[in-house]
Amino acid sequence: MTEPDPYAEAAVRQQQDAVRHPAPLYVQACPGAGKTRVIVDRHLAEGQGRRGRAVLSFTNVACSEVAQRCREAGKPELAEFPNFVGTIDTFLWRYLLRPFLGSGKLWRRIDSWDRIDASTEVGTGPNRHKVFLNDFQWSREPGAARCTARLQPRKRAIKSYNALSKLGLLDDAAKAAVDKQRALVAEGYVTGHEIRIFALHNLQRRQDQIIAMLSGRFREIVIDEAQDCSAHDLAILGQLHHAGMPLVFVCDPDQAIYEFRGALPARIREFGKSLEGRVDLRGNWRSSPAICGLAATLRPTATARPADSPVGPNRTEPAGILLIGTVGSQPDEALAVFIEHADALSIRSENRVVLAHAGTSLPTTTGVSGSQPPAHHAARVAWAAAVAKSNPKNATLRQFAYDILQRALLRYWFAEADTTGRSVEAICELVGLDTWRIRQLAGQLIGALPDLDQGTFTDWCKEASRQLGLLPPRPGMKRLDNSGSLVARGKLRNKTPRNASGVPPRGSASGVRASVVHQVKGEEEEAVLLLIPSDTRIDGLVNAWTTGNHPPNIAENLRVLYVAATRAKRLLAIALPEDAQDLVAAHLKLRDVPFELTTTRRSD
Ligand SMILES: Nc1ncnc2c1ncn2[C@@H]1O[C@H](COP(=O)(O)OP(=O)(O)OP(=O)(O)O)[C@@H](O)[C@H]1O
C-alpha cells in the first residue's frame, strides 16, 4: 500500500475549501492547481436552483471544457439556462450591452477585425501601406476618451511595420487605425475591446437596473483565468462587487500575459484581495518536482514564495530540467536534442510540444498551427481552404475559415468596395442575398478548390478563380467587376499553395507540435521544449531571471516563460544561447533545482 502523501492531502483540502467557501472569494492558484476542477466541482456541488451561476472564461475552449465536464457528471443542465457558461465577451454583450442598444442601428458583434478584413492605409505614393486593424494592439484605460492602437511587428505586418517605422509613420498608422475603428463602430461593428468600453459605460449609468437583472438571474459570477482581466474588466467586476454581486475570482497572477490590456499582476492581486474571502491552492497536480522548482525561480523576488508542492502522478519523476546550449538560435538543432531525450523517457511524439514567445522562433520541421490568416487576399483564401479541409475541432477557427470563403465568393461576384469592411451578413443585406445561400456555396467551394500540395500558387489561384466562377450566388448572374479574382503576387507566385497559405501539412517532419506560448494557456503536455532565441533581449531576460528583479519592460517576458515552462508534466527542456545557459545553470544550482546540461554541438 502506498503511503498517504501529506502534501497531496493538503492540496485536496485546499481545493475543497475553494469549492465550499461562499462568495465573494479570491482563489489564488499556482500552475496545475486544478482550477477548472474546482470551478466545476463548485458548480456541481450546489446543483440546480431557481437562480443560476455564471461561469466566465476568456476562450471558447475553456468554456467548452466546463460544459463538457457538466455533461460527463450527468448534469448537462448546469451548462444551460438559468446558468451561463461562456466567454466574458459574450456575457458582457448579452447582459450589459445588448439590452441597452438603440433600435436605430443594426449592431454586429465580431470576434476580431479580421472577420471583416478591416484595414486602413497610411503614407502616400510609393510609401503607401495597407495595414489591418487586427495587427494593432488595442488598449484603453477606464475613463480615457480615446483608444490607443499600436501596430505590432508580427509576421503578417512585419514588412509594413518596418517600412512605416523607417518613414517615421507609426504614429500616423495608429491614428488612421483609431479613426477607422471609430468609423466602423459608427456603422455598428464591435469587437471584445469595444464591448468592454460600452459595458462599463452602461454599468456606470444604469447600475441599479443591471444589478437587479443580474442578481435576479445569477446567484454568483465565477471568473476563471481571471489573470487575463483587462483594466476595463476589473473596473466592471469592481462595480458589480461593490453593488453586492457575489464574485468568485480564480486566477494565477504570475500567468498574466496580456499586459497591454492592463492585465498587470499587481492589479489582479489587488482586486483579488478586495474580495473578502481567500483560498490559496498550492499543490501542483501536473508537474515534476524539478519543473515546480524551476517555476519558482521565474517568479520575481517581490512576490516570491517557495516552490509549489508537486502532488500529482509526476511528483516522483526523477528527470531534471534539460538546458540545451545553442550557438545563436538553433531551433531545429535544439529540437533534435529534445526528441532524443523525450525518446529516452518513452514520451510519445503526440505528447511533446515546442514553444516560443514568437512564431518566428519556432523550428521549420514542426507543425506550427497557422492560426492567423495571411494578409494577401488569395493567400487568405488558400489558408481558409487548408483550415476547412483539415476539419479542425476548434469551432472558432472553422467558422473563421468558412467566413473567409464566403467573403471570397461575395468579393468575386460583387465589387470589392461592397465587401471590404463589412461582415458577411452585412454584405448579403446590401446586395439582397440570403446568407443561407452563400453558406451553402462556401460548402461546395471547399470540395471544389484544388489540392494545396500540387503545383505553384499561381496555378492554384487560376483554378480556384475558375471554381469561384462556377458558383454564382444568383443563377445566370454576371460579375460586377474583376477585383475578386485570386491572383498570386510577388514571392508567393512560385511557392506551393500550402506554403502560401501558411498552414503546415498534417503530421510535420518531426512529428512534434509547435506553438506560440499565448496559444497553449491552460494546456499541458508530457514534454515541453521552450526556445529562447538569441536576440537583443536575451541579456536583460537572463539578468532579470537570475536576479529576481523584474523591470517593467521585461517582467511580462518572464511571465511568458513561466506559462510555457509550467505546461510541462515530466520533461522541460530549455534551449538558450550558451552564455545564457551558463548563467541559468548557476542560478538553478543555487536554488537546488536539478538540471542536466547539453548542447546542440553534439548533433553537429
Ligand atoms: N484533485 C486532483 N486529483 C488528481 N488530479 C487533479 C486534481 N486536481 C487537478 N488535477 C489534474 O491536474 C492537472 C492540472 O489541472 P488544471 O489543468 O485544471 O490546472 P490549472 O489550475 O488550470 O493550471 P494552469 O493554470 O497551469 O493551466 C489536470 O490534469 C487535472 O486533471
Max avg pLDDT among 289-293, 411-415, 451-455: 289-293
pLDDT of 1 > 60? The answer is no
Would you state the pLDDT for residue 49?
73
Query: Taking all residues of the chain, what is their mean pLDDT, rounded to a whole number?
Result: 91
324-376 pLDDT, tens digit each: 999 987 888 999 999 999 999 999 998 999 998 876 677 765 555 556 788 88
Contact 40, 66 (CB under 8 A): yes
User: What atom in ligand 1 is closest to the CA of residue 523?
Assistant: 27
Residue type, 355: L
On whether 31 is known to bind a ligand per the annotation, the reply is: yes
Residue 310 CA to residue 563 CA, distance in Å, equals 17
Residue 289 CA to residue 315 CA, distance in Å, equals 6
456-487 pLDDT, tens digit each: 999 999 999 999 999 999 999 999 888 899 99
Exposure string for 518-542, b = 16+ CB within 10 A, e = fewer:
eebbbebbbbbbbbbbbeeebeebb
Would you state the pLDDT for residue 171?
97
Q: Report which protein residue has its CA nearest ligand 1's atom 6.
A: 285
36-63 pLDDT, tens digit each: 999 999 999 876 678 999 999 988 778 8
User: Phi/psi at 242 (nearest 5 deg)?
Assistant: -65, -25
Would you state the pLDDT for residue 225?
94
Would you state the pLDDT for residue 365?
57
Average pLDDT over residues 594-602: 90
Contact 583, 317 (CB under 8 A): no
Give 31 Cα–ligand 1 centroid separation in angstroms.
Answer: 8
Average pLDDT over residues 574-592: 96
> pLDDT class for 538, splitting at 50, 70, 90?
very high
Residue 426 CA to residue 184 CA, distance in Å, equals 12
Read off the pTM. 0.88
516-526 pLDDT, tens digit each: 898 888 899 99
Residue 497 CA to residue 460 CA, distance in Å, equals 6
Would you state the pLDDT for residue 506?
60
Would you state the pLDDT for residue 536?
81
Residue 601 CA to residue 581 CA, distance in Å, equals 14
Angle of helix 538-547 relative to helix 578-590, nearest 10 degrees? Answer: 10
Q: Report which protein residue has its CA nearest ligand 1's atom 7.
A: 34
On whether 29 is known to bind a ligand per the annotation, the reply is: yes
pLDDT of 142 > 70? The answer is yes
- CATH number of 6-98+194-285, picked from 1.10.3720.10, 3.10.450.240, 1.10.10.10, 3.40.50.300: 3.40.50.300
Write down the domain spans for the chain. Answer: 6-98+194-285, 112-189, 291-369+511-599, 377-501
And the C-alpha cell for 277? 474571502
And the C-alpha cell for 450? 484544388
Contact 107, 101 (CB under 8 A): yes
Closest CA to 272 of 87, 31, 32, 18: 18
Judge if the beta carbon of residue 120 lies within 6 A of ligand 1: no
On whether 432 is known to bind a ligand per the annotation, the reply is: no
Give 34 Cα–ligand 1 centroid separation in angstroms.
Answer: 3
Total Cβ atoms within 10 A of residue 276: 12
Q: By three-state DSSP, how is residue 129 classified?
A: strand
User: In this structure, what DSSP letter does residue 379 have?
Assistant: H
pLDDT of 392 > 90? The answer is no
Q: By three-state DSSP, how is residue 277 classified?
A: strand
Residue 490 CA to residue 379 CA, distance in Å, equals 12
Give 53 Cα–ligand 1 centroid separation in angstroms.
Answer: 22
Give 25 Cα–ligand 1 centroid separation in angstroms.
Answer: 20
Angle of helix 395-413 relative to helix 435-448, nearest 10 degrees? Answer: 100
And the C-alpha cell for 351? 505528447
Judge if the beta carbon of residue 36 lies within 6 A of ligand 1: yes
Sign of CA dihedral 368, 370, 374, 380: positive
Average pLDDT over residues 191-201: 96
Residue 35 CA to residue 401 CA, distance in Å, equals 32
Q: What whole-number percentage of the chain has pLDDT above 90?
A: 74
Judge if the beta carbon of residue 59 lies within 6 A of ligand 1: no
Would you state the pLDDT for residue 487?
94
Residue 227 CA to residue 37 CA, distance in Å, equals 17
Give 355 Cα–ligand 1 centroid separation in angstroms.
Answer: 20
Give 305 Cα–ligand 1 centroid separation in angstroms.
Answer: 20
And the C-alpha cell for 85? 457558461
Would you state the pLDDT for residue 48?
67
User: In this structure, what DSSP letter does residue 224 have?
Assistant: T
Contact 480, 415 (CB under 8 A): yes
Q: Please give the radius of gyration of the chain, using alpha carbons only, rounded to the nearest integer.
A: 25
Q: What whole-number percentage of the chain has pLDDT above 70?
A: 96
On whether 35 is known to bind a ligand per the annotation, the reply is: yes
68-123 pLDDT, tens digit each: 989 998 989 889 999 999 999 999 999 999 999 988 888 999 989 999 989 999 99
And the C-alpha cell for 397? 477557427
At the second CATH level, the architecture of 291-369+511-599 is: 3-Layer(aba) Sandwich (3.40)
Would you state the pLDDT for residue 369?
53
Judge if the beta carbon of residue 286 lies within 6 A of ligand 1: yes
175-194 pLDDT, tens digit each: 999 999 999 999 999 999 99
At residue 369's C-alpha, the angle toward residues 363 and 371, to 5°, is 130
Q: Report which protein residue has its CA nearest ligand 1's atom 18.
A: 34
Q: By three-state DSSP, how is residue 387 classified?
A: helix
* Residues paired with 515 in a beta bridge: 355
Interacting residues of 124 by C-beta distance below 8 A, sequence separation 6+: none
